[in-house]
Each structure stands twice: as C-alpha cells, then as structure tokens.
Amino acid sequence: MLERLQRRLGLQTIPGVFFTSAGIAALFVALAIPFDEAVAGGFGQLTGWVARNLGWFYILSVSSLLIFLLGLACSRYGDIRLGADDSRPDYSNLTWFTMLFAAGIGTILMFWGVAEPISHFANPPYEGVDPGSGQAASDAMTMALYHFGLHTWTIFAMPCQAWLLPIFRTGTTCLCESAACSIPYSGTGPSDPLAGRLM
C-alpha cells in the first residue's frame, strides 16, 4: 500500500521510512497546535534544563569529536579519496576554501557574527549575569567564538563521514538509509537494514 502511494505521489523515498517519519511529525504538530503555550513552556523548560545540567557534556562531546576528526585527518585514513582511486579534484584547495567560506561562514558572519554576541550581551542566557555587564560581554564573545569556530565545523563534518564515503566510494545513492546500511571503507555489502531504517 505504501509503495502504491509513493508511486502515485512521485516520491523518490523509502516508503516505510518516509511515511512513518511524516506521520510522527504530523501527529506531533496536530497535538501541539491546540496546546501551543503548554508545548512552548515545556520545551523552554527542557532546553533550560539541558543547558544548565548537560552543557558540559555537549562541549566535551564536540571537543572529543574534533580531536577524533583531526586524528583521522592526520592518520593514513586522511588520504582516502572521495571518489575512485584515480580521481582528481575538480577545483583547487583555494577555490574550495573560497566557496565554503562564501556559502557558509561568509553568510553566517555577515549577520550572526554581530547579532549573536549583541543578543547574548543584552540578554545573557546565564542566571545571575547582568545585561550589559563585563561578564555578559565575556560570555557573549565566548559563545559566539565557540559557535563559529572549529566545533561548528566538527558538527558539520561528522555526518559527512558517514554519508560521503559510502556515496562516493561504493556508488550507493544519497538516501540516508543506503549510506547507513553500507560498509563505508570496504564496500563489501550491506550491513543491518533495520539499523539503517531506524537511523
């Protein structure tokens, strides 16, 4: 039944994954609309609790992943090509850096590079910090530098390790499930399909 609906809608997706995800999202929205204030308050409390109690875990996790990626880049795996063994890059390193900077960091810094620290300076996210104080300024710049530094690139780069290698080395499709169900480095065949669907 889901396959017929997929064909009728012209979707290029995995029916079980797409319709299950869409159903859960639609159910959440349908339940959240009548109780918008309660939902907003609940998520606000949850966000505050996570920031107060698990902020250290977040920073430790991303810092550990950054060290892992740097180690990976400096190891023998850093020379693995994102393509066939005889493939060559279409653009030089300078061109790639320019495109990444213009598309990513350039557009972010043009607005958020100023807006984020000013926002944190005027409305400190931490309790006991007065708006406009020296502590607020220090915290604002610390958070902004953290968000625009190597840690942000770490969060971008980690999923790419899971998707790019299977896609470009083994010729699988860009569907998340295809990447999750393949063995990236050896390309010897699929792993657990259920794990890929759950991912």
The string of pLDDT tens digits covering residues 74-129 is 998 888 877 777 878 888 889 988 887 787 767 777 777 788 889 999 998 887 88
CA angle (73 as vertex; 68, 74 as ends), nearest 5: 100
Give the range of the structural domain holding residue 149, as residue numbers without chain letter. 57-198
Mean pLDDT for the stretch of residues 134-159: 86
The pLDDT of residue 70: 92
The pLDDT of residue 89: 82
- Here the tokens at position 58 are 């977040």
Domain contains 16: no
Domain contains 29: no
Radius of gyration of the chain (CA): 22
Counting the structural domains of the chain, the total is 1
Pairwise CA distance, residues 115 & 30, whole Å: 33
Which residue shows structure tokens 């470009």? 168
Domain contains 177: yes
Domain contains 188: yes
Domain contains 126: yes
Domain contains 150: yes
